Structure 1
Amino acid sequence: MTPNPRRHFLRAAAAAMAASPWLAQAAVPPTATHTASDGMQNLPADWTGTEQIGMLLYPGMTSLDFVGPQHMFSSLMGAKVHHIAKTMAPVTSDSNLSLVPTTTLKRAPRDLDILFVPGGGDGTLAAMQDAALLAFLADRGARAKWVTSVCTGSLILGAAGLLKGYRATSHWATRAVLKDAGAIETEGRVVRDRNRITGAGVSAGLDLGLTLVGLLRDQSYAETVQLLAEYAPEPPYHAGSPQTASPAVRAMTEAMFPEFNRKARAALIGRTEGRRRS
């Protein structure tokens, strides 16, 4: 596995912060004298794990849906993050950013701690009808400790039969389609129901990834990752949700989705009927 500079930086940063109150309380007795070197030795044992994380790549997915969570997952010391695709060829996103797989559907680990699916537009619709991809998700999702998605990736999980009876979210303009997958449509930037965690649109992937970092390590670790990323958004505009966007902007955005939603519903209904016949 290629060394991850950010993980090394996280270790070094944590060691340098060994005199801070939260790390001192978590790692060593409060009377101990701290140095950078013994800070490395006294990091909490559970800060290093052995997680196997599988992140799906497919043509036409939205790159930020993938890259945001990937940044957070790759900060988990000891974890191995797999970029999974049908072949080892680079996968081109809907913004023409190409991402390189590290393994294939056939070679990916059988047991995953996190199974993650990004969303997209036309690429998502194609993925919702890709039998090999859906079979992979159904198989790995049946055993994964956490089954997760961002944006319309939840519709792909739904097509694989992994959200029936679960509360879930998606991009706000497609969220109602989840009902056709048997899911319980739920508003929220990150929605957790048992071992299903779904994120809202695109940028919510950062929140989902950071949520999982906290669940797999602890709050102090997650806060360190957040600070290293300087993740403290202050957007120049306040149109990031349908509640804060102007009526004109919301109407224009909603007008982009009816055909996508119609096709997504058709795909989900077709999969449901197919499972019933079988």
Structure 2
Amino acid sequence: MQIAIVLYEGFTALDAIGPYQTLSPLPDAETVFVAENPGPVSDDSGTLTVVAKKALTEVPRPDLVVVPGGPPENVGRQMRNEAMLGWLRAADATSTWTTSVCTGSLLLAAAGLLTGRRATTHWLSLESLKEFGAEPTGERVVFAGKYVTAAGVSSGIDMGLTLAGRIAGGTYAQGIQLMTEYDPQPPYDAGSPEKAPAELVAKFRNGG
């Protein structure tokens, strides 16, 4: 099973690395980082670089596609990048699973892959999904047939584990969870707009 994790300038690192950590241990998995052009790709902080070993065109038929998100301006550039959108459409035509984390779902939506489907994304971008005919939901991980979307950033870990369970069984996925010691015990209960202090939610809705 070939897993293609898509990179582009300004992606959010954990969006890509969370699924990488939870999906790459699957049996017979070949995980490859891909980008429009092979080589180093900087994340949204500009301080972390991940190397794309192959160009998009070199990986035409992956079994599983993972599209990470990023800040609006970076994702917006890719939503206008026909090389990216065209590859997503072509890869989706033969993929077993097409997935995204955070605002990566906006790329899938811009490619026309989420029209009429339930999907999630970062809470600040949920309304944007409607513009492309998707049905936004605030759930953390959403399955809509072979399309799997995860909410903001850290939810990519949950998505990867859930999908690993679908592919290899619950016991195997639990083994991945155990070996990564994924046992969240956050110091604050502010991980969603429903739980966070109202003033924080308002601050970020107003641009931070």
Residue equivalent to 2:177:
226
1:57 has 2:13 as partner: no
Mapping of residues 82-121 of structure 1, within 5 Å:
82-96=32-46, 97-108=48-59, 110-121=60-71
Mapping of residues 155-194 of structure 1, within 5 Å:
155-194=106-145
Q: Which amino acid aligns with 2:61?
A: D
Residue equivalent to 2:86:
135
**Relative to total residues, which structure has the larger strand share, 1 or 2?**
2
Q: Which amino acid aligns with 1:114?
A: L
Q: Aligned partners of 1:132, 1:113: CA distance in 2, in Å?
A: 19
Q: Aligned partners of 1:119, 1:125: CA distance in 2, in Å?
A: 10
Deviations 1:171-229 (A, max 9, x none): 01101110111111112000011111000000000001111111110000000100111
TM-score (normalised: structure 2): 0.96
Residue equivalent to 2:21:
71
Displacement of 1:141 in angstroms is 1.1
Q: Aligned partners of 1:158, 1:99: CA distance in 2, in Å?
A: 25
Q: Aligned partners of 2:50, 2:141: CA distance in 1, in Å?
A: 25
TM-score (normalised: structure 1): 0.73
Displacement of 1:123 in angstroms is 1.4
Q: Aligned partners of 1:154, 1:120: CA distance in 2, in Å?
A: 10
Q: Bigger relative contact order, structure 1 or 2, given CA contacts below 8 A and separation 6+? A: 2
Q: Work out the number of aligned pairs and report it.
A: 206
Q: SS of 2:38's equivalent?
A: coil
Contact 2:39 2:53 in 1 (8 A): no
Displacement of 1:111 in angstroms is 2.2
Q: SS of 1:251's equivalent?
A: helix
Structure 1 unaligned runs (5+)? 1-50, 258-278
Residue equivalent to 1:242:
193
Q: Aligned partners of 2:14, 2:84: CA distance in 1, in Å?
A: 21
Structure 2 unaligned runs (5+)? none
Displacement of 1:116 in angstroms is 1.0
**Relative to total residues, which structure has the larger helix share, 1 or 2?**
1
Q: SS of 1:53's equivalent?
A: strand
Mapping of residues 141-156 of structure 1, within 5 Å:
141-156=92-107
Which structure's CA Rg is the greater one? Answer: 1
1:126 has 2:86 as partner: no
Contact 2:22 2:157 in 1 (8 A): yes
Q: SS of 2:143's equivalent?
A: strand
How much is the aligned-residue C-alpha RMSD, in angstroms?
1.0
Q: Aligned partners of 1:103, 1:242: CA distance in 2, in Å?
A: 38
Q: Could you list the runs of 4 or more consecutive aligned residues of structure 1 that deviate by over 3 angstroms after TM superposition?
A: none
Displacement of 1:78 in angstroms is 1.2
Q: Aligned partners of 1:78, 1:256: CA distance in 2, in Å?
A: 43
Q: Aligned partners of 1:82, 1:179: CA distance in 2, in Å?
A: 31
